[in-house]
Structure 1
Amino acid sequence: MAQIKGFEQFGFKRNGENDTQHYGSCPFCRSSKERFYVNKESALWDCKVCGRSGNFSQFLEQISEQHQAAITGALISKLSRSRGIKPQTLKSWGVGWSGIYFTWAARGNMNSSPTDLRRYQLGKKVLATSGSKLSLITSPRDTETKKVWIMEGDWDGMALWECLRSLKIQDQVYASPGAGILPKRLFSLFDGKDVIVCYDNDDAGQRG
């Protein structure tokens, strides 16, 4: 099960397994008791101590909320200076702090549920969570609009969103992890929309 590494990337410490489940310490309550269980086939999980449970998407959602609550103004300012994006924009896109990575959820899909939690360290590349599925990245605060924009890359998406909001334009903005990365299952997001695609001016961007 590929998702088990994803659980481990966000605080699950796997200490053993039985025929159907991995088990270890809970990334939420951090109890010393090894009562956090992950099903080997379905990736359904639950903690017998704090009572949290769900599927992999719900794990990513709750971890993202935990990270957003943990991030400080100093960390947001540090990322803002590094990327040239305003702190309020970063907050609006759900940026949090894991203790190691800046994180934000990719929830640009028909259910608006996170299928990936993006991970970033200053000066390095944005990483996907192990076992995740591709979705576009967008601000969870956005509402649907007739005109939508698709940018290449998380940072370009945030930067355009910030620019549009400074002009009092509320168009919804999506970011693709890369040029040409738009699975067919996401096409219905744009039914009836006026879509503007802005990819990088390179070979990959032209093909995308």
Structure 2
Amino acid sequence: MHLYVSSKLPKGIQETLVANERIHKVLKTVSIINKPEYTVLTDRRILYFNEKILNRYDLEDIPYSKLMEMKAERGRVRFGSIEFKSEEMKKPIKLSKVPKKDIEPFIAALEIAMNNVAVEPISIKRSKGLIGKMRWEFKKTPETLFKSRPAEADSLERRPFSKGEPEADPLRKLKLRFVNGEISEEEYLRMKELLEG
């Protein structure tokens, strides 16, 4: 079952999805002249869909293991941009006119989706500028390893990574437990007060 209702997606994307492939997030650009571009995060890959007139379209498929680089920028005005580079593509996919409010949730979902197929934790570098400006960047290193199958889950959730030694900061660990839904807000506040105590 797809988390996003696939019937709302263009037919070209629906036909590309394989059995049991789950859609986690859909990003749609804004355009007055052309049809909108879609970028779909599934549990296995990134799909880019650009529909043209007369039922023509461009479709790019980027498995998370082939994603080499991602850059995103949220401007001070209404829109931002995202760019993807893959091992197999000659030129990057560049999305402009991405609604400002949709960029950050999309990047967060991308980070979680990539971590669900990664062997070691992956992070996306963030840098905040003045007046709401924000940049995100991911570059794949030679040491980055991915599993061939995604982690089994019905929703987009952070997958815990096993570490050899416990985390040094108990407040950070407590916050992660709260964010992951392991403890309630009341428990979180009570335990935080005890730790800061």
TM-score by length of 1: 0.29
TM-score by length of 2: 0.30
Question: Of Structure 1 and Structure 2, which has the larger fraction of its residues in strand?
Answer: 2
